[in-house]
Amino acid sequence: MGIEQMQQALEASSINVQKHQEQLRLENISALKKFCADEQLAQFLTTYSFDDDITVGAFNYFQANLLKKNIEWEDDFKRALAVNLLPVGNGTSGDIVVLDLLDFEIGILFHDYFWENEEEDPRKFLIKMNCSIGQFYLNSVQENNYPVDAYEAAAYMGADFTGFAGEE
Protein backbone atom coordinates (compact mmCIF):
# COMPACT_ATOMS: atom_id res chain seq x y z
CA MET A 1 0.00 0.00 0.00
CA GLY A 2 2.91 2.34 0.53
CA ILE A 3 2.39 3.38 4.14
CA GLU A 4 5.91 4.77 4.47
CA GLN A 5 5.67 6.64 1.16
CA MET A 6 2.36 8.20 2.19
CA GLN A 7 3.97 9.43 5.40
CA GLN A 8 6.79 10.98 3.36
CA ALA A 9 4.25 12.62 1.02
CA LEU A 10 2.35 14.11 3.96
CA GLU A 11 5.56 15.43 5.50
CA ALA A 12 6.69 16.92 2.16
CA SER A 13 3.27 18.61 1.88
CA SER A 14 3.65 20.06 5.40
CA ILE A 15 0.45 18.39 6.58
CA ASN A 16 0.11 18.21 10.33
CA VAL A 17 -1.00 14.58 10.61
CA GLN A 18 -1.58 14.81 14.38
CA LYS A 19 -3.89 17.81 13.95
CA HIS A 20 -6.02 16.18 11.25
CA GLN A 21 -5.89 12.52 12.38
CA GLU A 22 -9.33 11.00 12.89
CA GLN A 23 -10.04 7.50 14.12
CA LEU A 24 -11.59 5.35 11.40
CA ARG A 25 -15.04 4.51 12.74
CA LEU A 26 -16.18 0.89 13.01
CA GLU A 27 -19.03 1.43 10.52
CA ASN A 28 -16.48 2.37 7.84
CA ILE A 29 -14.20 -0.56 8.66
CA SER A 30 -17.23 -2.87 8.33
CA ALA A 31 -18.21 -1.27 5.01
CA LEU A 32 -14.66 -1.72 3.74
CA LYS A 33 -14.57 -5.39 4.70
CA LYS A 34 -17.76 -6.06 2.72
CA PHE A 35 -16.04 -5.31 -0.56
CA CYS A 36 -12.39 -5.85 0.35
CA ALA A 37 -11.13 -7.91 3.26
CA ASP A 38 -7.48 -7.01 2.68
CA GLU A 39 -5.88 -6.23 6.04
CA GLN A 40 -3.18 -4.02 4.53
CA LEU A 41 -5.82 -1.76 2.98
CA ALA A 42 -7.69 -1.60 6.27
CA GLN A 43 -4.43 -0.71 8.04
CA PHE A 44 -3.63 1.97 5.46
CA LEU A 45 -7.05 3.61 5.80
CA THR A 46 -6.88 3.38 9.58
CA THR A 47 -3.43 4.98 9.62
CA TYR A 48 -4.42 7.68 7.12
CA SER A 49 -7.87 8.64 8.31
CA PHE A 50 -8.32 12.42 8.52
CA ASP A 51 -11.07 14.82 9.61
CA ASP A 52 -11.46 16.14 6.06
CA ASP A 53 -10.13 15.67 2.53
CA ILE A 54 -6.47 16.69 2.38
CA THR A 55 -4.39 17.95 -0.53
CA VAL A 56 -1.16 16.10 -1.23
CA GLY A 57 0.68 17.36 -4.28
CA ALA A 58 -1.78 17.90 -7.12
CA PHE A 59 -4.42 15.55 -5.69
CA ASN A 60 -6.87 15.30 -2.83
CA TYR A 61 -7.05 12.28 -0.56
CA PHE A 62 -10.61 11.58 0.60
CA GLN A 63 -11.78 11.40 4.18
CA ALA A 64 -11.91 7.66 4.99
CA ASN A 65 -14.82 8.05 7.41
CA LEU A 66 -17.11 8.78 4.46
CA LEU A 67 -16.72 5.25 3.05
CA LYS A 68 -20.03 3.90 4.35
CA LYS A 69 -21.93 7.03 3.28
CA ASN A 70 -20.37 6.97 -0.19
CA ILE A 71 -21.09 3.27 -0.66
CA GLU A 72 -24.74 3.74 0.32
CA TRP A 73 -25.52 7.09 -1.34
CA GLU A 74 -23.14 7.94 -4.17
CA ASP A 75 -24.03 6.31 -7.50
CA ASP A 76 -20.64 7.11 -9.09
CA PHE A 77 -18.85 5.61 -6.09
CA LYS A 78 -20.98 2.45 -6.36
CA ARG A 79 -20.37 2.23 -10.11
CA ALA A 80 -16.60 2.37 -9.65
CA LEU A 81 -16.71 -0.07 -6.76
CA ALA A 82 -18.77 -2.53 -8.85
CA VAL A 83 -15.66 -3.07 -11.00
CA ASN A 84 -13.29 -3.16 -8.01
CA LEU A 85 -12.17 0.47 -8.20
CA LEU A 86 -12.19 2.25 -4.85
CA PRO A 87 -12.26 6.07 -5.18
CA VAL A 88 -9.65 7.47 -2.77
CA GLY A 89 -9.18 11.00 -4.08
CA ASN A 90 -9.43 13.38 -6.99
CA GLY A 91 -7.48 16.00 -8.88
CA THR A 92 -8.24 19.66 -9.40
CA SER A 93 -9.68 18.79 -12.83
CA GLY A 94 -12.18 16.44 -11.19
CA ASP A 95 -10.47 13.27 -12.40
CA ILE A 96 -10.91 10.50 -9.86
CA VAL A 97 -8.02 8.77 -8.11
CA VAL A 98 -8.92 5.11 -7.60
CA LEU A 99 -7.31 2.12 -5.95
CA ASP A 100 -7.67 -1.00 -8.08
CA LEU A 101 -8.77 -3.65 -5.59
CA LEU A 102 -7.57 -6.43 -7.90
CA ASP A 103 -3.88 -5.50 -7.74
CA PHE A 104 -3.82 -2.55 -5.27
CA GLU A 105 -2.31 -0.16 -7.80
CA ILE A 106 -3.47 3.43 -8.15
CA GLY A 107 -5.10 4.76 -11.29
CA ILE A 108 -6.74 7.93 -12.51
CA LEU A 109 -10.21 7.85 -14.09
CA PHE A 110 -11.13 10.38 -16.77
CA HIS A 111 -14.05 11.97 -14.91
CA ASP A 112 -15.82 13.36 -17.98
CA TYR A 113 -15.90 10.00 -19.77
CA PHE A 114 -16.79 8.18 -16.54
CA TRP A 115 -19.76 10.47 -15.88
CA GLU A 116 -20.97 10.76 -19.49
CA ASN A 117 -20.71 7.06 -20.40
CA GLU A 118 -22.52 5.33 -17.57
CA GLU A 119 -23.22 2.24 -19.67
CA GLU A 120 -19.49 1.67 -20.24
CA ASP A 121 -17.13 -0.23 -17.95
CA PRO A 122 -15.28 2.46 -15.96
CA ARG A 123 -12.04 0.52 -16.43
CA LYS A 124 -12.13 1.65 -20.07
CA PHE A 125 -11.38 5.19 -18.81
CA LEU A 126 -8.75 4.19 -16.24
CA ILE A 127 -5.08 5.11 -16.52
CA LYS A 128 -3.08 2.81 -14.26
CA MET A 129 -0.10 4.52 -12.64
CA ASN A 130 1.75 1.28 -11.73
CA CYS A 131 2.37 2.23 -8.12
CA SER A 132 0.88 1.98 -4.65
CA ILE A 133 -1.36 4.63 -3.16
CA GLY A 134 1.44 6.00 -0.98
CA GLN A 135 3.92 6.07 -3.86
CA PHE A 136 1.37 7.87 -6.05
CA TYR A 137 0.95 10.71 -3.57
CA LEU A 138 4.70 10.86 -2.95
CA ASN A 139 5.36 11.05 -6.71
CA SER A 140 2.82 13.86 -6.95
CA VAL A 141 4.81 15.83 -4.37
CA GLN A 142 8.35 14.98 -5.48
CA GLU A 143 8.35 14.58 -9.27
CA ASN A 144 8.29 17.83 -11.23
CA ASN A 145 6.64 16.37 -14.33
CA TYR A 146 4.23 13.99 -12.59
CA PRO A 147 0.75 14.05 -14.15
CA VAL A 148 -1.90 16.29 -12.62
CA ASP A 149 -4.87 14.80 -14.51
CA ALA A 150 -5.89 11.80 -16.59
CA TYR A 151 -4.78 13.37 -19.90
CA GLU A 152 -1.26 13.90 -18.58
CA ALA A 153 -1.34 10.46 -16.94
CA ALA A 154 -2.24 8.83 -20.28
CA ALA A 155 0.73 10.52 -21.98
CA TYR A 156 3.05 9.79 -19.03
CA MET A 157 2.11 6.10 -18.99
CA GLY A 158 1.81 5.65 -22.77
CA ALA A 159 -1.77 4.47 -22.34
CA ASP A 160 -3.90 3.19 -25.23
CA PHE A 161 -6.86 5.37 -24.18
CA THR A 162 -5.78 9.00 -24.09
CA GLY A 163 -9.17 10.67 -23.77
CA PHE A 164 -8.79 12.60 -27.01
CA ALA A 165 -11.61 12.58 -29.58
CA GLY A 166 -11.71 9.59 -31.88
CA GLU A 167 -9.74 7.35 -29.51
CA GLU A 168 -12.57 5.76 -27.56
pLDDT confidence of residue 35: 84
Architecture of domain 3-156: 3-Layer(aba) Sandwich (3.40)
Write out pLDDT tens, residues 22-44: 999 999 999 988 888 889 999 99
pLDDT confidence of residue 167: 47
pLDDT confidence of residue 166: 55
- φ/ψ (deg, to 5) at 110: -65, 110
Write out pLDDT tens, residues 52-73: 999 999 999 999 999 999 988 9
pLDDT confidence of residue 168: 47
> Any idea what the Cα angle at residue 98 is, between residues 150 and 84, rounded to 5°?
125
Mean pLDDT for each 10-residue chunk of the chain (168 residues)?
96 93 94 88 94 96 94 91 96 96 97 89 96 98 96 96 70
The residue extents of the domains of the chain are 3-156
DSSP string, the chain: --HHHHHHHHHHTT--HHHHB-PPPHHHHHHHHHH---HHHHHHHHHT-BSS-EEETTEEE--GGGHHHHHHH-HHHHHHHTTTEEEEEEETT-PEEEEETTT--EEEE-HHHHHH-TTS-GGGGEEE-SS-HHHHHHHHHH-TT--SSHHHHHHHHT-S----TT--
pTM, rounded to two decimals: 0.93
